[in-house]
Amino acid sequence: MRISLATLKDLENLNDNDIRHLRETGYNGQHAHPFPKNFPFEKEKMMEQKMKGWSAELGSVHWSRSFLLIENNKIMGHLNLKNVFLGTLHRAELGMGIEESMRGLGAGKLLMKTALAWAWEQEFLKWIDLGVFSHNLPARKLYKSFGFVEICTVVDLIRVDGVSIDDVKMVLKLR
């Protein structure tokens, strides 16, 4: 298992990983994503968004960087850091997805360690934000172990397939 910073040549393989992962169930069979079971993912649009973010200059609007979890030369997960809009250039939003077969093996810890080491080197970044479904206890524990603090729970933020999901907002102050 290894981690690498994504490049444009990784786009198609990362999208394949995204689609596989987004079709899986989450922790204890509960929803892991804000998408219904048969959501029609648009592969070309997904690739275009990643390409724009990866090509954007760090510290500019809509920049993003993705760290890839690779096992046996196959992308099995990723951690993405990105800018959401102009007023938040000092912040990054973190999103992570790991395929079921790699969960519980330390993959999340390895992705977090690598991505946060990179983030600490970026002087423009002051904070990292994330949202995690309240029922995803392993992810919440992982984020806390890296210093993230829970700041609030948004009750009934998302409804997927008729299921109400609360979202926990967490932050990490870098400097």
- pLDDT tens readout for residues 62-87: 999 999 999 999 999 999 999 999 99
Measured between alpha carbons, how far is 27 from 30 in angstroms, rounded to an integer? 6
Beta pairing partners, 78:
68, 97
Domain ranges of the chain: 2-173
Instruction: Give the E-state strand segments of the chain in sequence order.
Output: 2-5, 64-71, 74-82, 91-98, 127-133, 149-160, 163-173
- pLDDT tens readout for residues 81-139: 999 999 999 999 999 999 989 999 999 999 999 999 999 999 999 999 999 999 999 99
More confident residue, 16 or 106: 106
Q: Who contacts 10 (Cβ-Cβ below 8 Å, separation ≥6)? A: 66, 68, 75
Which CATH number is associated with domain 2-173? Answer: 3.40.630.30
